[in-house]
Amino acid sequence: MPYMGREPTSTATKLEDADQDTKIQVEESSDEDTIRFDTGGTERMTVASGGAVDVVGALTAGTVTSDAGVAGTTGIFSSDVTGLTLNATGDTSAGDNAAIGYTSAEGLILTGQGSTDDITIKNDADTTVVNVATGSSDVEISAGNLLFGTGSKGVYLGVTSATAANLLDDYEEGTHTASVTCTSSGSYGLGSNSVLQYTKVGRKVNLSGRLGVTSESSPSGGLQVSIPFTAASLSANADIAIGHLNVAGHAGTIVGAYCRVDAGVSVLTLEKLSDAGINEGIDQDDVDTTFELFINITYVAA
């Protein structure tokens, strides 16, 4: 190669500055040739003829760019590593402090170990959102709640595959402003006690509360109370539900009062046992103009 600089003091070919502490030196040996880079009297990097690159010490305050990629066994960086993508090609190991891995069976793998948590996921406010405690297999939601991005999604409980009967896809708590009507015609007016509370878990609905009737409007027929969700229609009368009912303020004798929900309806009917022991509806003749209903029933929604 062309000679530049002062006459080298060794057989190696050099390109160096005046005080000889910054240089590029080609070193020949019996087993391999290398190019050595020194700055300020310190060796910084060597490039072997086989293609291996050895960086001596740390790379600081700069950027390393390689279009062809960098192959190595260990890389130590004292600041952020930034790139478009990071493609892991190997599995992680037990005892890894913080490792990202990949296998064809498991896909992306996150492995870590800490004194409190092995894996911690935080939001932009540096608040822990999801974590796995040290040595644990439980996933903990430390802040916030689980929220599905679209409706009609749920969790399969007690199974390891998507089984329709094990899908919990609804939970709701609320109140239902009830109406009291009759099977033939007319209705009743409610005062301040006009709301029933409900809890819906999956399709199972529990409805309870106290209704206070303060007026009537030409009632005729059996009394019925609106419900928040239409009842299911199941086989073999499995959709029929019977609940507790107490009527306070009635004209006659009401024996064995209960409330009932039948298939495909959106009301519960109020019934009693007659003197002959036959189920029959509670109608306008059984109650006063003002009366109260205490209701508790669980039924299956459609």
Tens-place pLDDT, residues 80-92: 888 888 899 999 9
- What does the alpha-carbon distance between residue 120 and residue 33 come to, in Å, rounded to a whole number? 47
Amino acid 163 reads T
What is this structure's pTM? Answer: 0.73
Structure tokens at 14: 């050099």
Residue 180 near residue 218 (C-beta atoms within 8 A): no
pLDDT band at 29 (very low <50, low <70, confident <90, very high): confident
Structure tokens at 178: 């009830």
Tokens 């939970």 map to which residue? 171
Asked whether residue 181 carries a pLDDT value surpassing 50, the answer given is yes
pLDDT score recorded for residue 45:
85
Spatial neighbors of 297 by CB under 8 A, at least 6 apart, are: 206, 207, 208, 241, 242, 243, 244, 259, 261, 268
Give me the percent of the chain exceeding a pLDDT of 70. Answer: 87
**Higher-pLDDT residue of 44, 252:** 44
Q: In the chain, where are the structural domains located?
A: 1-84, 173-300
Strand partners, 260: 242, 269
Rounded mean pLDDT, 174-186: 98
Please state which of the ranges 17-21, 67-71, 75-79 shows the lowest mean pLDDT.
Answer: 67-71
Ranges of beta strands (E only) in 107-228 are 107-112, 117-122, 128-133, 140-141, 155-156, 167-168, 171-177, 180-182, 185-190, 195-201, 204-220, 223-226
**Helix, strand, coil tally for the chain in percent (to 5):** 5, 50, 50
The pLDDT tens digits for 209-242 are 999 999 999 999 999 999 999 999 999 999 999 9
pLDDT band at 10 (very low <50, low <70, confident <90, very high): very low
Structure tokens at 140: 């903990």
pLDDT score recorded for residue 255:
84
Structure tokens at 105: 């069976």
**Cα-Cα-Cα-Cα dihedral of 157, 158, 160, 165, to 10°?**
-60
Average pLDDT, the chain: 89
pLDDT band at 8 (very low <50, low <70, confident <90, very high): very low
Strand partners, 25: 14, 36
pLDDT score recorded for residue 11:
52
DSSP string, 210-231: EEEEEEEEEEESBEEEE-SSPB
Asked whether residue 58 carries a pLDDT value surpassing 80, the answer given is no
Residue 7 near residue 16 (C-beta atoms within 8 A): no
**Higher-pLDDT residue of 104, 31:** 104
**Higher-pLDDT residue of 249, 211:** 211
pLDDT score recorded for residue 47:
85
Asked whether residue 32 carries a pLDDT value surpassing 90, the answer given is no
pLDDT score recorded for residue 15:
86
